[in-house]
Amino acid sequence: MRTLRGVDDKLPGSRRAGRGPRQAQAIYQVTLELLAEGGYDGVTIEGVAARSGVNKTTIYRWWADKDALLGAAIIQSSLLRFEVPDTGSLRGDLRVLVRRVVRLLTEDSTSRVVAAALSAVAGRPRLAWLAREFFADRLSGERAVFGRAAERGELSDSVDPALVLDLLAGAVWSRVILRQMPVTGEFADQVVDVVLEGCGARS
């Protein structure tokens, strides 16, 4: 999986290719609401159908079971997705990305969903694929940032984009989740500057 289109046909338990029914985003939103409210056990096909107003048979037509629906919701929902920036410089792009990760982990509308999703995956080895697919999907889009940087001569193409993103996201995760400290725009800029200096990036 490398693009949003066609994700469903690659998710375990998915029965059809494409993005899902016309009501897909509404179904995803309800699925994530139930996840945030009651954790993994709080998500049921029946509950999603009742709250979204979509017939249960429609949901089963597209997703074979709860895990398939949950995976599609986490990976494809617009709630957990943001556009890849193009500011004209690698440093600017990464600063925007770091700020967006901060918002993902701190805003009420997303932080509870992220925490519940991580809890569901961490406690269920059969959902390990979900974390892999989520990060593979995000990295596939963010690689464009590094491709443009290499073309501009800002960064050697030998630098691993996944490693850079891991370092940046890890710093935010440590500050927000582990240390529970506020994250300012200045912090985001400093993290990017330190990582890029370590990579030998050029302005």
- pLDDT of 96: 94
**CATH fold of the domain at 8-78:** Tetracycline Repressor; domain 2 (1.10.357)
- pLDDT of 200: 77
- pLDDT of 16: 44
Quickly state the pLDDT bin for 203 (edges 50, 70, 90). Answer: low
- DSSP assignments along 39-70, one per residue: TGGG--HHHHHHHHT--HHHHHHHBSSHHHHH
- pLDDT of 18: 46
Least confident of 10-14, 32-36, 105-109, 166-170: 10-14
Do 54 and 23 form a contact (C-beta atoms < 8 A)? Answer: yes
**pLDDT tens digits, one per residue of 63-91:** 999 999 999 999 999 998 888 899 999 99
Model pTM? 0.79
Secondary structure percentages of the chain, helix, strand, coil, to 5:
70, 0, 30
3-state secondary structure of 30: helix
CB atoms within 10 A of CB 72: 25
Quickly state the pLDDT bin for 57 (edges 50, 70, 90). Answer: very high
| Same fold across 8-78 and 82-199 | yes
- Tell me the average pLDDT across 19-36: 89
Beta bridge partners of 63: 14
- Domain range summary for the chain, segments of one domain joined by +: 8-78, 82-199
| 82-199: CATH architecture | Orthogonal Bundle (1.10)
- pLDDT of 19: 53
Q: Is the pLDDT of residue 59 over 60?
A: yes
- pLDDT of 11: 56
The span from the first CA to the last CA of the chain, in angstroms, equals 32
Calpha distance 110→53 (Å, rounded): 23
- Tell me the average pLDDT across 6-31: 67
- pLDDT of 17: 40
Calpha distance 76→66 (Å, rounded): 15
Cβ neighbours of residue 145 closer than 8 Å, sequence gap 6 or more: 84, 85, 86, 90, 93, 94, 97, 161
- Tell me the average pLDDT across 24-51: 96
